[in-house]
Amino acid sequence: MELEWCLPSHDESCVEHLAKTLNIPLPIAKILFNRGITEIEQAYRFLYPRLKHLYDPWSLKDMNKAIKRIHQAIIKQEKVVIYGDYDVDGLAGTAILYLFLSPLIKNLIYYIPHRIKEGYALNIEAIKRFKAADVNLIITTDCGISNNEEIQFAQKSGIDVIVTDHHEVPASLPPAYALINPKQPNCLFPFKELAGVGVAFNLLIALRQFLHNQGFWPTGKIPNLKNYLDLVALGTIADMVPLIDENRVLVKSGLEVLAQTNRLGLKALKDTTGLNQNINVRNVSFRLIPRLNVAGRISSPDTALRLLLTKEEQEARSLAETLHALNQERQRIEEKILQEAQAEFEKTNHSVLAGNWHSGVIGIVAARMVDILRKPVLLIGLENGRGRGSGRSIDGCDLFAALSQCAEYLDSYGGHKLAAGFSITEDNLEKFIQAFEQITQSMLKECKQPRFYIDAKINLGGLTPQFVKYLSLLSPHGIGNPEPTFLSDVLEVKQSNIVNEKHLRLLVSQENLTFEAIGFNLSSLYPPPSPLQMVFIPYEDHWRGETRVKLKIQDLKSV
């Protein structure tokens, strides 16, 4: 199937004005326009994000109430629990809250629920244990917005709850002491797409300011929140929120901190994975984040959190090695589930697939199935008549909205437009599948999804090292700011071959210029046509002291 290529057009005079004013190449200005960045000040902030561009945390609804309640807990030395999620976003949020508050509150503990035994977010059994331990305050991170019943129970048990969360807001909000979520009604915070750790970080910015004004840290040793940005970047990247606006500022600065981090656990994990240079979103996503996530998927999330908090070098190395081994086991489980899910899809043609699968791994497999099928996919792990589900979606198909329309068949659900989780009894499975398939089919009809959005057409002669350095100003890349893609002129293929059985390697030429191009997992395009046009992403390759510009193939078409 030949996929549609989309090359947007803009008012050339406006693009040229932006390029001239900012002294950037014309293709870079076109990319900014494609991202909806058309004003000079807006473009400057995008190209050169600074921490001073962060929004006022006090504009988050209930921030004032939350800060005063935490201040009370510090003054009275109350017993406080930081309650996080078991994924990297929740672990990072828990870590920064614990690191900041532990010197201020002696009776501070953290709690991460076990994915299989307890499930996501607050649960009543855990709150009962907190009550027995005389806990006065729970501060959540990356969870709590959908825990109406559990927060009511905590309230009746004499425990205040401060919710910090970023997930979609249900129709009925929980009766928390304070609820900090930029997506809630009447919240004036300008940016709504923070990760959970981003919400927690804003809480700390406000809290530090408040405590400093109250006379804390009289010797001037005020905690430097910039030191937490390595953790903020990890959680933000891991949760796949749009890397725009405030998230872009946090991740850009956070990757710089991560590259030089003194955090022993992260240093050990970087050593274990060989990630000691090129600290970017892609390398962090493929090397660090899976190993931090795996503990919560198939073991205890406490292992990953201890790695983030440890101050012992030997413990850091041991925990990093443990996470590496767990990740290898996760990969084996994942491949088995993927094979079984693909076989089930071939039998049923359903995008809701169920089996006796490890519920900690099905989310990853769902993401891989989405890449294959290009439509929303739900996987459900069944055990003893009950199922835990995890789903992923594509742009234009709101997974949370689809689940909301099927809520009558679910025990619980939550999440975002592109990722969600839920629980269901097996008796409701057939009706749920029918309803979900009908809803998503309707969404897909309205969701035209060309595979490649092309940023600009470019002559290969323009792909100089200097131009690639300009491209680096557009990083970090992710949802909302993908790597820029370019359309070539007509190219001649000089050489072609398959590498490692699945990758396509080409030597292409134009006007006496020759470039090496690699198409990862594109062996199906061999042998390539010649002449051809190519959609590609340029990148710098460093080898034996030399730097060359190469092309990452996205698609090919015969000319």
256 CB-near residues (< 8 Å, 6+ apart): 229
* Beta strands per DSSP E along 491-545: 492-499, 503-510, 513-519, 532-543
Say if residue 544's pLDDT is above 80.
Answer: no
Q: How many CB atoms lie within 10 A of CB 233?
A: 28
Q: Once rounded to an integer, what is the mean pLDDT over residues 405-432?
A: 93
The residue with tokens 């998503």 is 440
Q: Strand, helix or coil at 513?
A: strand
Single-letter amino acid code for the residue at 197: V
Where are the extended beta strands (E) located within 371-427? 377-383, 386-392, 412-415, 419-425
Cα 79 from Cα 278, distance rounded (Å): 42
Q: Average pLDDT in the 262-281 region?
A: 94
Is the pLDDT assigned to residue 154 strictly greater than 70? yes
450 class by beta-carbon count within 10 Å (0-12 exposed, 13-18 middle, 19+ buried): exposed
What are the CA-CA distances from residue 413 to residues 354, 390, 456, 485 (Å)?
17, 10, 41, 36
Give the tokens for residue 529. 């046509």
Residue 547 has a CB neighbour count (10 Å cut-off) of 10
User: Do residues 489 and 535 lie in contact, with contact meaning Cβ atoms separated by under 8 Å?
Assistant: no
Residues paired with residue 422 on neighbouring β-strands, in sequence order: 389, 413
Burial grade of 52 (CB within 10 A; 0-12, 13-18, 19 or more):
exposed
**Looking at residue 8, what DSSP letter applies?**
-
Alpha-carbon distance of 434 to 196, in angstroms, equals: 33
Residue 449 has pLDDT above 60, yes or no: no
CA distances from 495 to 102, 370, 491 (A): 61, 33, 12
Residues with Cβ within 8 Å of 11's Cβ and at least 6 positions away in sequence, in order, are none
Contact predicate 108/102, CB 8 Å? yes
Q: Which residue has the higher pLDDT, 220 or 533?
A: 533
Mean pLDDT, rounded, of the chain:
94
pTM of the full structure = 0.89
- Region of poorest pLDDT, from 215-229, 438-452, 487-501: 438-452
The pLDDT of residue 448 is above 70: no
Share of the chain above pLDDT 90, in %: 86
Residue 190 confidence class, pLDDT cut points 50, 70, 90: very high
The secondary structure of 245-274 as a DSSP string is HHHHHHHHHHHHHHHT---HHHHHHHHHHT
**pLDDT, position 1:** 47
Single out the residue of 103, 58, 55, 51 nearest to residue 209, CA to CA. Answer: 58
What is the rounded CA–CA span in Å between residue 138 and residue 291?
Answer: 28
Q: Which residue has the higher pLDDT, 396 or 338?
A: 338
Percentage of residues of the chain with pLDDT beyond 70? 99
Q: What angle do CA 19, 23, 25 make, to 5 degrees?
A: 55
Question: What is the average per-residue pLDDT within 353-369?
Answer: 94
Residue 2 has a pLDDT of 62
CA distance 379 to 399: 13
Distance CA 319, CA 302 (A): 10
Dihedral sign for Cα 464, 466, 467, 469, please.
Answer: positive
> What is the per-residue pLDDT across 305-356, written as a single tens digit (0 to 9) for each?
999 999 999 999 999 999 999 999 999 999 999 999 999 999 999 999 999 9
* DSSP state letter for 491: B
For the chain, list the domains and their CATH numbers. Answer: 5-48+452-558 (2.40.50.460), 57-222 (3.90.1640.30), 349-445 (3.10.310.30)
Is a pLDDT exceeding 70 seen at residue 166? yes
Q: Using an 8 Å Cβ cutoff, are 516 and 536 in contact?
A: no
- What pLDDT does 338 receive? 95
